[in-house]
Structure 1
Amino acid sequence: MKVALTGAHGFLGWHTRLRLHALTEHEVVAVSREEWSHLPSLLTDVDAVIHIAGVNRAESPDEVEGRNVQLADDLARAIDGANRPLRVVYANSIQAGNETAYGRGKARAAELLRLAVEGVEGHLVDVLLPNIFGEHGRPQYNSFVATFAHATIHGETPTINDAQVGLLHAQDAAQALLEGLTTTEIMVSTEPENHGVQEVWDLLQEFHGSYVPVGEIPDLSTKFRIDLFNTYRAALFPNYCPISLVPHRDPRGSFVETVRCRGGEGQTSFSTTVPGVTRGEHYHLHKIERFAVIRGQANMELRKMFTDEVLTFEVTGDEPVAVDMPVGWVHNIINTGDDTLFTQFWSHELFRPDSPDTFPEPVRRRPAQEV
Structure 2
Amino acid sequence: MSNTSPIMNNQSPKKIGITGQKGFVGSHLYNTLGLFPEEFERVEFQKEYFEDTDKLDEFVSQCDVIVHLAALNRHDSEQFIYEMNVGLAQKLVDSLKRTNSKAHVLISSSTQEERDNLYGKSKREGRQAIVNWAQENGGNVTGLIIPNVFGAFGKPYYNSFIATFCYQLTHGETPTIATDGEVKLIYVQELVYTIINEIRSEKSNPELLIEPTSTKKVSEVLSLLNDYKTRYFDGGEIPVLNNQFEHNLFNTYRSYIDHKTHYPVKFVQHTDPRGAFVEVIRLGIGGQCSFSTTVPGITRGNHYHTRKIERFAVIKGKALIQLRKIDTDETLDFYLDGTEPAYVDMPIWYTHNIKNIGEEDLYTIFWIDEPFNPEDADTYFLEV
TM-score class, shorter: over 0.9
Equivalent residue number for residue 2 of structure 1? 15
Residue 108 of structure 2 aligns with an amino acid whose one-letter code is A
Asked if 1:265 corresponds to 2:286, the answer is yes
Number of residue equivalences: 362
Equivalent residue number for residue 184 of structure 2? 166
Distance in structure 2 (CA, Å) of the matches to 1:355 and 1:173: 19
TM-score w.r.t. the length of structure 1 is 0.93
Equivalent residue number for residue 232 of structure 2? 211
Equivalent residue number for residue 368 of structure 1? none
Residue 113 of structure 2 aligns with an amino acid whose one-letter code is A
Deviations 1:243-299 (A, max 9, x none): 22111111111111111112x331111222222222111111111111111122111
Deviations 1:329-351 (A, max 9, x none): 11111121222222211111222
- Identify which of 87, 96, 102 aligns with 2:104: 87
- Identify which of 7, 11, 14 aligns with 2:27: 14
Deviation of 1:160 (Å): 3.7
Distance in structure 2 (CA, Å) of the matches to 1:120 and 1:241: 55
Asked if 1:32 corresponds to 2:43, the answer is no
Residue 68 of structure 2 aligns with an amino acid whose one-letter code is H
- Cα RMSD of the aligned pairs, angstroms, is 1.6
- Give unmatched runs, 5+ long, in structure 1: 364-371
Distance in structure 1 (CA, Å) of the matches to 2:136 and 2:359: 66
- Identify which of 270, 273, 278 aligns with 1:248: 270
Tell me the SS of whatever aligns to 1:268.
strand
* Mapped contact 1:151–1:157 kept (Cα < 8 A): yes
Identity %: 38
Distance change >3 Å, CA 124–CA 272, structure 1 → 2: same
Residue 289 of structure 2 aligns with an amino acid whose one-letter code is T
* Mapped contact 1:281–1:332 kept (Cα < 8 A): yes
Asked if 1:336 corresponds to 2:357, the answer is yes
* Superposition map of 1:55-134 within 5 A: 55-134=72-151
Equivalent residue number for residue 167 of structure 2? 150
Deviations 1:195-216 (A, max 9, x none): 1100011111111112222211
Equivalent residue number for residue 188 of structure 1? 208
- Give unmatched runs, 5+ long, in structure 2: 1-13
* Superposition map of 1:278-289 within 5 A: 278-289=299-310
TM-score w.r.t. the length of structure 2 is 0.90
Tell me the SS of whatever aligns to 1:219.
coil
Runs (4+) of structure 1 exceeding 6 A deviation are none
Distance change >3 Å, CA 118–CA 361, structure 1 → 2: farther
Deviation of 1:191 (Å): 2.6
Residue 311 of structure 1 aligns with an amino acid whose one-letter code is L
Deviation of 1:242 (Å): 2.1
Asked if 1:197 corresponds to 2:218, the answer is yes
Distance in structure 1 (CA, Å) of the matches to 2:292 and 2:143: 47
Deviation of 1:122 (Å): 2.4
* Mapped contact 1:214–1:244 kept (Cα < 8 A): no
